[in-house]
Amino acid sequence: MFKRLAGADEARRDLLEQCKPVLRTEILPLNFSIGRIISKNLLSDIDLPAFNRAAMDGFAVRSCDTRGAKPQFPVYLDHFQPIRTGMVVPENYDAVVMLEDALLRGHQIEVSAELYPYKNISKFGEDVRHDEIVFKEGHRLRPPDIALLAALEKKKVEVYARPRVAIIPTGGELVPLWARTLRPGEAYEINGLMTKLYVEMWGGEPFLHDAVPDNFELIRSAMEANLKMDMIILIGGTSVGEKDYAPKALKELGDLLAHGVRIQPGKPTALGIVHKKPVICLPGYPVAALSSLYLFVRPTLKKMAHLEDSISVILAKLDRKIASKSGYLNIVRVELKSDKAIPISASGAGILSSVAKAHGFILIPEEKEGLEAGEEVEVTLFE
Amino acid sequence: MFKRLAGADEARRDLLEQCKPVLRTEILPLNFSIGRIISKNLLSDIDLPAFNRAAMDGFAVRSCDTRGAKPQFPVYLDHFQPIRTGMVVPENYDAVVMLEDALLRGHQIEVSAELYPYKNISKFGEDVRHDEIVFKEGHRLRPPDIALLAALEKKKVEVYARPRVAIIPTGGELVPLWARTLRPGEAYEINGLMTKLYVEMWGGEPFLHDAVPDNFELIRSAMEANLKMDMIILIGGTSVGEKDYAPKALKELGDLLAHGVRIQPGKPTALGIVHKKPVICLPGYPVAALSSLYLFVRPTLKKMAHLEDSISVILAKLDRKIASKSGYLNIVRVELKSDKAIPISASGAGILSSVAKAHGFILIPEEKEGLEAGEEVEVTLFE
């Protein structure tokens, strides 16, 4: 039995309070910076456009020459120059009359519209001025941002480094994927693979280790050897029993914030801080591990990676009544069919195929004892 | 002037009706299949677990031997075997008694709980049965799915090929990124880069070409040369004027569905079908191109890639009144501050820095003439 189970919100808050965003930076070629976070205010070295640029096909003119022009009372100009979109507007002109409002008549053009200064001109520096702050620290780079930086000739960009995350599966029965045929009692290591893919998706840089056998010294050494990382995730060996070495090692090396959390599935999760680095011990059952990944790894990683922790939900109507374990935050897998959320029939935390059938999950708060059929629920889609 | 402007919804519907999901498939190593779509029902070749597996540390027993056992009336068993989580349950046993309910006493164990068959056992095949359909055609692979396939020893997986998208910028003033110092009137080609990044993000495989000069024959040839692709995106050369070669070429080679759409910005968009392939001509101004990317390229690509077209929105209160061009679908860039959406002051479609400041956009429908301060609006975040 766990001595004391922590509440999910409380446990997460305690962990997040002690995690800091990673301040290490790196300089990347612009092409490789999509989705990354600017680490200091980024100023432009140039003006954009670098010249007064025609925004229309037509004729460059002096705006003052067009005063009073109307379709009924056109003006006739000697000074003008044919121009096409994108071209430099010559210095002595300050407007472009579009083709619809002008007619070439011999050496003159007939202009039927009055133009104000810089009409149909993209003015020098109107997009970005030299020394203007283009992106503030903390900005996440999206495709149009990359395009703007390309126009500003920023070949490299300084961004925050992604949090480095060591992933250490534990368990003597685990065999690296397809390394050899399994012997009775063995299993391929798949939780580490799942965790690695989520760590990448959530903005971290994963380092997946081979499984460490169920041995206290080896697990502690593996933890110690990875303290240069920004976060450590251990998988398995968290249950109370002979083999809960991961939380024990965490306690010996640092602060064990929680061992046993009131979530279902996922109770044997352990959380702690070692040398200011968050250490998260995930349960060995894959569905329980998935709960902990969403409830603890995701917010921690997003904070450390300077990313928004927001998650999209879809509103749906619960298709049938579900019971939940009172006093626990219940994570219920659901399938979506049109606007209905259909709970996946109760199945153990070891049944990964139950997740294959699920579009997402709903959370039933501790104080509830279940949900009624027809209730509106927020479904978080599995990413 | 455009002869006839199409409505945004109508134009999109016409285009989508004629686009089919790509049915070409490819076989990928499992590691590279994250986010991809299963192209045919995927069956398991094995049972998972492959044996009766202990789900607890304890003792393997025969459940019938424990009948009637209670803490006050324990039973004493001669037939048992110590076992740890994950190990094979020997054939002659059908339950595992957990350590809390059993005490080793000499050659016997004292069991204080009655066990039903398969208690604390992950039964052979209970997760996945041989020949069971694990994923149906159309399923998108997420990290726990990859983990399950790994456990099922699926080293490769057949998925739909991503739509191949040719991106062809047009314009004689365009210079490949940083290829050389710009001469007056030139600009670096950045719309193609932005489009390429979005095509990747939205599930396509982009092929970005060097810019084609403003020449009808060359633009038509470039279009023809790319008809082996699944989609063609041309950028620039869409305005009515001397140079709207892209829509002209589209019309000559296939069906021009729309040239000029009632969206603001983005009006000079053209849409069509050539040899059953969608061809989308984006306006040359980057902000207008961005509108068209979201309104036309995104849904088309998602459909062709077998992906959901859903897009997340955030609800916010409009910070101040905004006018909109009546009869047009207006795409208004907004900055988010707490729960407020602050419109980015009117700026031309050439001002990419206005997007840098925007978190997302709101859509004002054709029939509206603007929105009032305080109205609740749905903000689509720029991805």
| Interchain CB distance below 8 Å, A122 and B150 | no
> Over 70: is that where the pLDDT of B346 sits?
no
Mean pLDDT of B65-93: 94
Query: Cis before residue B265, ω within 30 degrees of 0?
Result: yes
Nearest CB to B351: which of A127, A143, A284? A127
Among A1, A178, A353, A357, the strongest candidate for a mutation testing the B interface, having the largest count of B CBs within 10 A, is: A353
Minimum-distance CB partner of B86 among A48, A85, A173: A173
Query: pLDDT value at position A241?
Result: 56
What's the complex ipTM?
A: 0.93
A11-20, pLDDT tens digit by residue?
A: 999 999 999 9
Cα pseudo-dihedral B370, B373, B375, B377, rounded to 10: 70
- pTM score, two decimals? 0.93
Inform me whether the pLDDT recorded for A341 exceeds 70.
Answer: yes
pLDDT at B233 over 70: yes
**Is A87 an 8 Å CB contact of chain B?**
yes
d(CA B242, CA B239): 9
Q: Examine domains B33-47+128-160 and B53-122 and report if their fold is the same.
A: no
Chain-centroid distance of CA A293 in Å reads 15
Through-space distance between the first and last CA atoms of chain A, rounded to whole angstroms = 33
The pLDDT assigned to A182 comes to 93
Better pLDDT: A160 or A86: A160
pLDDT tens-digit map of B111-132: 999 999 999 999 999 999 999 9
DSSP SS3 for A221: helix
Residue A146's Cβ-side half-sphere holds a number of Cα atoms within 13 Å equal to: 26
Judge: B148–A182 Cβ closer than 8 Å, yes or no: no
Residue A135 CA to residue B358 CA, distance in Å, equals 11
Q: Which of A326, A330, A359, A366 is nearest to A346 (CA)?
A: A330
Dihedral sign of CA atoms A329, A330, A335, A337 in order: negative
3-state class (DSSP) for residue A150: helix
B161: burial class by Cβ within 10 Å (0-12, 13-18, 19+)?
Answer: middle
Best mutation target among B85, B214, B287, B293 (most A Cβ atoms within 10 Å) is B85
Residue B135: which of A50, A184, A356 has the nearest Cβ?
A: A356
What does the pLDDT read at residue A1? 57
Residues whose CB falls within 8 Å of the CB of residue A251, separated by 6 or more in sequence, listed in order: A259, A272
The CATH code of the domain at A53-122 is: 2.170.190.11
Q: How many angstroms separate the CA atoms of A19 and B258, rounded?
A: 53
* Beta carbons of B113 and B69 less than 8 angstroms apart: yes
Q: Is the pLDDT of residue B93 over 80?
A: yes
At the top level of CATH, the class of A32-46+129-160 is alpha beta
Residues 6+ apart with CB under 8 A from A310: none
Q: Which CATH number fits domain A8-23+162-304: 3.90.1150.10, 1.20.140.10, 3.40.980.10, 3.40.220.10?
A: 3.40.980.10
Per-residue pLDDT reduced to its tens digit, A231-285: 999 999 766 555 689 999 999 999 999 999 999 999 999 999 999 999 999 999 9
- pLDDT computed for residue A84 by the predictor: 86
| CA distance to partner chain B, nearest, from residue A198 (Å) | 6
The Cα B283–Cα A35 span in angstroms is: 25
Q: What are the extents of the domains in chain A?
A: 8-23+162-304, 32-46+129-160, 53-122, 313-381
Contacts of B360 in chain A (CB under 8 A): none
Q: Label the pairing between strands A340-343 and A270-274.
A: unpaired
Tell whether the model's pLDDT for residue B184 goes beyond 90: no
In this predicted structure, the answer to whether residue A2 has a pLDDT above a threshold of 80 is: no
Tell whether domain B33-47+128-160 is in CATH 3.40.50.1970.
Answer: no
B287-316 pLDDT, tens per residue?
A: 999 999 999 999 999 999 999 998 889 999
**Averaged pLDDT for residues A144-157:** 97
**Could you count the other beta carbons within 10 Å of the beta carbon of residue A196?**
21
| CATH number 3.40.50.300 given to B313-381 | no
d(CA B261, CA B239): 11
- The predicted structure's pLDDT at residue B240: 53
8 A C-beta contact, residue A111 and residue A102: yes
Which residue spans within A118-203 are E strands per DSSP? Answer: 121-122, 133-135, 156-160, 164-169, 174-175, 187-188
Per the structure block, which two tokens stand in for B259? 């040239």
Cβ–Cβ gap A382/B142 under 8 Å:
yes
Residues 299-318 of A with CB under 8 A from B: 312
Among chain A residues, the shortest Cα distance to B89 is held by A185
Amino acid at the residue A302: K
Residue B251: the pLDDT is 95
Position A62 pLDDT exceeds 80: yes
> Which whole number is the average pLDDT over B33-53?
96
The pLDDT of residue A32 is 96
Q: How far apart are CA A197 and CA A289, in angstroms?
A: 13
Residue A25 pLDDT > 90, yes or no? yes
Nearest to A352 among B148, B173, B241 (CB): B148
CA distance B73 to B62: 18
The two structure tokens encoding residue A21: 């965003």
Q: Evaluate whether B140 touches B36 at the Cβ level (below 8 Å).
A: yes
Predicted confidence at residue B244, as pLDDT, reads 82
Q: Are A191 and B48 within 8 A, CB to CB?
A: no
Whether pLDDT at A190 is above 60: yes
- Report percent pLDDT > 90 for chain A: 87
Q: What is the mean pLDDT of residues B325-343?
A: 94
Give the integer Cα–Cα distance in Å for A174 and A167: 14
Q: For residue range B269-280, what is the model confidence (pLDDT) as tens digits?
A: 999 999 999 999
Nearest chain B residue to A352 by CA: give it: B148
Residues of chain A with C-beta less than 8 angstroms from the C-beta of B47: none
